[in-house]
Amino acid sequence: MPNAAGDIDVEAMNDRLAREHPIDDYYERAPLPIRLIERKRLAILRDMLGDCAGLELAEVGSGGGHVLRMFPRARITAIDVSDVYLDTARKNLAGYDVRFLKGEVDKLDLPAASFDRIVCTEVLEHTVDPPAILAAMARLLRPTGVAAITVPNDPLIARLKRVLRGTPVLGRLLGDRIRWGGDAYHLHQWTPAQFGRLLSRYFHVVERRAAPYDALPIRACFRCAPL
């Protein structure tokens, strides 16, 4: 990847990520601890977004549609920069009331206050300009809406991976799978506190949770309302 953030081809980067780390495999065949963490993250998101029946629900960085398929009665908008991810999402969301939009959300010509619910999960670390993405989501959320946003706690994850690599048996068992998920493609890293401060510039943070649990906050999860 280029060194200068402005020179990064976001579409190409995400297509490459999607091909190197197939998203269906990640959810279905990642090592068991990762699958358990992600199941908890999905449960938190489902709880934070609530009953979306009949509501306009958008996912910014929809990936393979694994989050959106938890909301079969919503009117869904799946937004992603990668054709590879969107093709996977089309398969996973077959039969849903869904439209697919390709592009970066801050560059799409979407009307303000378009959505009752917005979800953006494990995406912002891959974007060139997270503040621009957050500002766009804040503009698109309706006054009574809810946004659910998560990021990985990369500083903690890096420490845990160093411990695993230094454990001979686990290190050999996991091998290259210790890098499963594509964290080499993360352009930004935050602790939960750091990300919470960034988020509060664009939203009112109503609730903070973590997956798998608060004492081990590998995924930082935030329920947000408009300012």
- pLDDT tens per residue across span 153-204: 999 988 887 776 666 655 555 555 555 556 778 999 999 999 999 999 999 9
pLDDT of residue 162: 76
Alpha helices, DSSP H, located in the chain: 10-20, 23-29, 32-49, 83-92, 130-140, 154-165, 168-174, 192-199
pTM for the model: 0.90
Residue 72 pLDDT > 50: yes
CATH fold for domain 5-226: Rossmann fold (3.40.50)
Query: What would the two tokens of residue 107 be?
Result: 């560059």
- In 3D space, the residue among 156, 134, 159 whose CA is nearest the CA of residue 210 turns out to be 156
* Section 103-112 average pLDDT: 97
* Section 34-57 average pLDDT: 96
* Section 9-36 average pLDDT: 90
